A and B are shown apart, each in its own frame.
Chain A
């Protein structure tokens, strides 16, 4: 059972460029989450999917951010016209659908974005 994988692990880009990150969840996990973590803070929720449906988006997810999970398997997070404030670690997590109250989210290694 492989864990959550994310690519790339590191991305350096110039302000104004577009970037796209990929997340491959644990197989058969229905739910997939994106979080952003800045230095010295805990992760902050961005959005999540159940299968291919995007069920919730945070206010942090500005119009420049878009996420997809077209076939209910892997997901992509795109940031358009990057800004220096977008520099952060982007974490992906997956979990099985709720059966009872336990719904543990398992995280990937993250993609560290640096916007110059």
Chain B
């Protein structure tokens, strides 16, 4: 069975500093995708970044980068130059490829608070 673990319930970071949010996953599949979503207090899940299991390079999207270590089964999100608007819940998720399963498996999330 697939599982996502986010061990940090809450994190604080000073504005303009970088922060790393941890995510480890468990799967026996060879082909899978890893996603990060941001959920502000308004409730909408906002897609941030994607990493495929066969991608050799770490994904980057603007201030977001994904530190993918396949052997350790970790997919940590790095946010550079934090902004006040980054304060939100962050969820790591995984989906498998192949077969009929299309759903995402989510972790419990990390609440990030950016301090001015």
Query: What is the interface of chain A, defined by CB distance below 8 A to chain B?
Result: 31, 33, 35, 40-45, 48, 50, 55-56, 58, 89, 91, 93, 95, 98, 101-110, 112
Contacts of A50 in B (CB 8 A): 102
Q: Known interface pairs A101-B31, A101-B54. Does A45 touch B42 (Cβ–Cβ under 8 Å)? A: no
> Are A45 and B104 interface neighbours, CB within 8 A?
yes
Contacts of A55 in B (CB 8 A): 100, 102
* Interface residue tally for chain B (C-beta within 8 Å): 28
Contact of B103 among A56, A107, A109 (CB under 8 A): A56
B residues 99-116 touching A (CB-CB < 8 Å): 100-109
- A50 and chain B: residue at smallest CB distance: B102
> Are B45 and A101 interface neighbours, CB within 8 A?
no
Least CB distance from A18 to B in Å reads 23
**Distance in angstroms between the alpha carbons of A56 and B84 in the assembled complex:** 39
Contacts of A31 in B (CB 8 A): 102
Contacts of B68 in A (CB 8 A): none
Contact of B43 among A35, A42, A89, A101 (CB under 8 A): A89
- A102 and chain B: residue at smallest CB distance: B50
> Are B109 and A110 interface neighbours, CB within 8 A?
no
Contacts of B109 in A (CB 8 A): 41-42
> Are A98 and B97 interface neighbours, CB within 8 A?
yes
